[in-house]
Structure formats: structure tokens, C-alpha cells
Structure 1
Amino acid sequence: MSQTITARGLSASSSERATMYQAWSTLATDTWPRVRFFNGTNAAGRRTREVSSFSSMTRRCSVPAPPMATVASATRARPLLFDALPSLAETVPFLPLAEVPTAVERCAALSPYLGRDDVWMKRDDLISPVYGGNKVRRYEFVLADAKARGATRIVTLGGIASTQVMATARFGQHLGIPVTAVLFDQPVTRFAREAILTDVDAGATLIHGGGYLRSAWRFYKARKTQGAYVINPGAASPRANLGYVDAMLELAAQVERGEMPRPDVIVLPTGSSGTLAALALGAAWLGWDTEIVGVRITLRIATNALTIGLIRERTARWIAARAPEFGRALGSRRGRYRLFHGAIGEGYGYPTRESIEAMEWYRALTGKPGEVTYSAKALVGLRAVARDPAYAKKTILLWQTLSDVRPVIPEGTRERVPRDLQWVFEGSVPA
């Protein structure tokens, strides 16, 4: 690309990045006890793999089938997951934030871009009027835990354009819990500027971390604040992942109602990979053979088959430790997933020619501007899957993860941005 992209602190060596990732990984707030899984077998002694519906899966596994979700979206008192696993409801707090079920629709506007007209999408971009996207389902469990623990402040870490930081700031404001966010540098885009203004408007205290290692250190210090509840980058934890295990039950109910065919493939952008791992785990629990394709948008050292497998296994163990019936029903299944590496370009947050083009298609699809880090690169990966002859007859579902809510920023907000983040608003941006 010919454009000049403003970025700071992104020249860390591979060893420094490895150190950074290890440092973040040690800050997890959840523990994962070891439990033993039991293989499920049928009367013929074969391992049970496929079922015709969610209801039949739960009957076979002696887990009560949750009631089908109503078609009208509204916040619900409890998730489907608690109906399927009653013992989980006894120990895991829950805070209704999402208006569900989110719709499943055809991606008709993308037909020229994808080269086919039979691709679907799940509208988690519309999941909440406070802030949408894939953090809302996760925060129904994470912020419930924060409130249950009496947290007086939430501390988190993300890039200057982090949707997770924006979601934390918006829901923290909504719940009356102050938020402190340490921000590391990434390429500056229009969306990055909007993100910082959104964080400031929501009342978040922003700490400029700069490069990866200094950001990790400042996050480590900030999390020692008295009364702080720590949310790691991407809200990555087994507790948070409950949101998308539950989301697969919601999708199964929609399939059973005939709202869409069972997807053979689900495509979404992936960074911290909790959503991807949880969807794969949920599909395995349902007995579906659905492949989850994560479009990688960050460093390979952080997003790879090994890290995703660890997240998936830790989540399975975390749930089974609190609801043993889950482990018995799951057996040895862990779900299918793979990564698409062809959209990332130079790295996290860097615009590419393909992602800039995809932003316009995102607008055509949703009526809202996209951004180059997550949503646009997800469309690049979606197109690659849709045009792959191996998927020609497959039912493909795009899982929307970017918020449709774009808060109106009051005048004067930029003047409230911390001095050491004012550089983000200097000069031109490529996208």
C-alpha cells in the first residue's frame, strides 16, 4: 500500500511479542480444574457423533432440552445454557444484557462480492442498544461475576481501536462501574479515533501503554487497584466463553424452527479466539459437524491451533467442573475449526487493499461503516471460503461480531482525550 500508516510501538521483536503474550496469559482471572471426560456411546458401542436436532441431542445425553427461544428479541432472565445445565445456574452468576435471539438473515447484498447468493449471517451486531458485537454475550457472565464480587472498578487492556475496550466502557457506564483501560498502539484509522472518543465519552480512564511490553507492565500495575475486577484482552476466559456456548444453543433453536438450514461452516474474525473456541465447543456439544473458520486478525503467536485448542479445553473443563453432565454429554468431542491466514496483511490493525474494499461491502450489507481490523477482514475470509470449490454446496454462516451501535460523540470530547493519546488525531489516515 502506498498510504502512510501512523503506528507507534509496533516494532517489538518476536521474542518480545512472545514475552508479552506470556505476560498477558498469566493474568487470567479464572482457574481450570482438571476433570475426566467420558466418551458417549450408542447401543452398538459406537461413539455418538451426530443428532438430528438439539432436542434429540439433549434427550440422548440425559440433559434437559431448553425451551425454544421466542422469535421476538428481548433480554431474557436466564440463558438457554442454564436450562440445559441446571447445576451451572447454581454457581455461575448471570446478568441479562443481550436482546436475543439475534436474527439469522441472507447476505443478499454480498452476492456480487461473494459470487453466490446463499450465504447467511447471524446479527450479533444488533444484540444490544448499549453496544453490540460479540462482547455482549460474554459480558452477561463476566460483568455478572464482577457485580457478584462487589467490584468498584473494572480494569482492562486493548489496542487503541479495541472493540472490547469500547464494550467495557459502555457497559461499565451502563452499570455504574468505573472503567480503567490500558491501550497499546496500533495503526491509526478513522475507527481507532472513533474508539478513543467513545471510550472517553463513556467515562473510561485511559492509560496509554504504548508498545506491547510497556502496556503489559502498566496493565499489571493497574490491575492492583483496590476493588478492581480484571478483564483480560479480548475478555478471554472460560467464564466469558459461556456466552458463545449458549449462542450455539440459540442457533440450534433457530435451525429447529426452520429459520435457516444447519450451517456447515461458520465464519468470523478471530483474535483472542474465545468466541471461536466456544462456538466449536458448542457445536461439538450439539453433535454438529459444523466447521468454525476463524479469520486471523492478529499475531500468529497469539492466534494459532495450539492456543485455540487450549482455550477450548480449558472452557470444557471449567464447565464440566461445575456441571458434570456437560462432560458426560460432550464425551471426547471438541468440535472442528481452522484458521484463515490470508486476510491479516502486515499485522494487527493494518489496512490492506482487500479490507478497504470490503469495508464498502460491509456498509452495503449492514448500512453501517465497517472497519479494517475485524469486520472487513472477516469479509475477505468469507469471500475466500464462499468461492472455494470445496464449499460450493455448503451452507455458510457469517457470524457478525462488530457493533451496529455507533455512539454519537458530543462536541468537545476530543479535548478530554488524555494528552499522551492526542497523537492519534494528528495527520491523515488511509481508512
Structure 2
Amino acid sequence: MLLSINFFAKILWLSLLTNVILADSLINDDDLNSGDKQQSKNNSIKSDPIDVQILAGETSSFDVYLINPPDKPVDVSFVCEHSPCSTFDNELSPIRLSSDNYRIRINITAVRPGHDVIVFEFNDTSISDKFAFTRVRVGRGQFWTILSLFWGWGYFFIWSLSFWPQNVTNFKRKSVIGLSFDYTILHFTGFIYYSIFNCGLYFSSVIQDQYELKFPRSEIPVELNDVVYGLHAAFTTSITFIQCFIYEKGNQRFALVSKLYQAIVWTVGIILIILVGFNVINWLTWIYYFSYVKLSVTSLKYLPQVYFNFRRKSTAGWTIWMIWLDITGGSFSMLQMLTIAYNYDDWRTLLGNLPKFGLGLASVVYDLIFLIQHYILYRNSTPSSSDSSLEKCSNIKTSTPTLNSNLCNNDNDDSTAIIVIESKPSTNTSINTS
């Protein structure tokens, strides 16, 4: 009953996230209203596009413009955030925006691969500089760009597919014996945490504004495929979680430490959202809390299944196809990050996203452990006698209900069951007296 309540509580939290997103306008009024109103009265200088992506040796352009014609001319100069500029050698000439010409095109020629942020500098304090910058990424060549896309979409589809083999295996066996319940609940709730972070940062304009204030001139680190992947993973792992209650499970149970961990995580989440209501913290802090929990879950979630296989000396019930897909997806993810870093000669992106790279590496390491268990350590092993009897007891049919109960409830692995079948004379037997 407690676990069922816990499951529906998580669904309630997803519903709560929807309310957070829909409450954007209200939060804007309460927390950011004064700043937005002040900026709406002032002019603003911007770039179009804000992101320029080209190859070395190519020429591209972006527009610098004012939202409204200025009252007086505005002189704008350009500097790279990290001087000197890494992607081009020639300095950009200053420009003057006026009421007659308040949109000017700037041409740049990339010399070498790299990453730059071009910042617009001007002295007019009545003009907002919130979006007065352009991000420039210069790649080595088209081959590396295509290869990066291949790794990216490859790991997206492979990792998405990896959630289904275990569900199919459970469905065919009508049993979850061999699947660690503690791994299952960590796998499921981990992607709920991940979805809360992705959906909040992708859909909520309030959280995006808070992110921009905390990380100026940074790109939002969540794409649509991240949102779809997280929600799909939460859905498929919820099926696995439900299967633990409806299929044959033997004497498997959720460990007390798993229940305590879930209770603590969600209790802290409730406390933090109360603090948001009292303006002690903001929504960005709240969703980042779940991202940190997701990092810890991903680092630890495989340990229960590794130990469970070790204790049983068997991998029966734990589908190896999921591991092959997972290790392939994890390898693709790391290869994409390495390809992007090399293509743009920007290893800061790799160092700045070490958690993602580290988690991909941790996933691959765990997968290698599972492969060693399956193909080497327990290659010729069979499930323990208790697992086998529990999985097969539903197929045992006898005429004695008490015998059925004793067989299916016997938890002693070393016990030997002696079945005595009492024969009864057939009522249809005829005796020839002639």
C-alpha cells in the first residue's frame, strides 16, 4: 500500500510541474514584474541570429539592431568575451546605430575552429544590453558535423530502445524474478527527476530568465529531444515498476533503504517548493535539485542489480539485450561529446559538462560488469532452486490445495519436496466375472 501511494505521489508531482509551467505569468508578476516593466520602457540592442555556426574558411554574417529607433546615435564596438578572439584574426570595426539606420549587418570570416562570444559594448545606459552578444562556433569540416549528428541521434534512439527489452521479457515470462526491485524504483524515479528538470527549463520562460541571470550569454542546455527522451524513459520504466506488482515476484521485496531514500528525496522536494513560495529560493534552484538527485541515482542505480546477480550467482530474468543497447548508447554519447569538442576545438565544452560524460562512462563500466557476469562468471549457471520453484509453481497443478500452497510458499532453497500422489480407483472400472 505504501509503495502504491508513493507511485501515485510521483504522478501528482508531474501534475504539479505542469502547474508550475502554467503559472509563468503569475510568477512573472510577482518576482520579475518590476524588472520586465523597466526593460519594456527602454530600448534594447540585439543580434540576429544570436548563434552563428560556420566552418573554418567560410564567411557568415549577423545583424546588430535596436528594437526601436534611438533618440540619438549609439556607437557600438565589438570585443570577444575571452580575448583574443579564437576564431578570427581581424578586429570588427565599430558601427553607429541611428534613427535612420538602426539595423546593420556585420560580416565575419572564420580562420580556425573554435568558439567565441562577441559582446557589443556601448555607453547608452537607457538601452538594455541583456541580449547584446552573438555566439560564434566554427567547425573543422562538414564531415565532423555530420558525424556528430550521427552519434547524437544514434544514442538517442538506441538508449530509447534499451528500455523495452526488460518489459518484453517480463511480459513473456509473466514474472519479474531475477529483476532487482531496488534497481527498478531507482531507474523509474531517476527519469521522473530528469523530466522535471528538462520540462521546467525547456517550457518555462520564468526558469529560462532565471537561468540567463545566473549564466549570462549561455545557451539553454536542454533541447526538445532531451524532453522527449526523458518522458519516454519515465513512461517505459513506469511499466517495469508496475510489472513488479502484477507479475510473479517470489519473495522479492523493496529494501527499507530504498523506501527511506525515496521518502527523503520527495520530502526535501516538498520543503524546497515551500521555500519557493516564500521567495527564499527560486524555481531554477528547485529544478536543479532534481538534476543533482538524478546524477546520484544514475551513479548508484545499477549497484542493486549487480549485487542481486552476485547473490543469486545468475543473470536469469535480467535481459542482456538491454545491456548491449545501453553500452552502445553510452558509447555513442561519449563519442558525440568528443567529436563536438574536436570539431570546434572547444574542449571547455567537454570539461564544462563532465557530469554527462562521467555518467556515460559510469553506465558503460556497469554494463561491462553485467556482460562479465552474464558471459563469464555465471555463464553456465541456472537460477537458484527457490527462484525456479517460485517461477514454476504457477504451472503446478495437483488435486490437493494444501500441497499447492506448500509448494509455492516454500522459501527454503535447500529443502526437498516429496510429493505423494494418492491414487483412487476409477468409478468406471468394470470387472469381467465370466
Q: Same fold (TM over 0.5)?
A: no
Q: Scaled by the length of structure 1, what TM-score is found?
A: 0.24
In our comparison, the structure showing a higher alpha carbon Rg is 2
Higher relative contact order (CA 8 A, sep 6+): 1
Q: Scaled by the length of structure 2, what TM-score is found?
A: 0.24
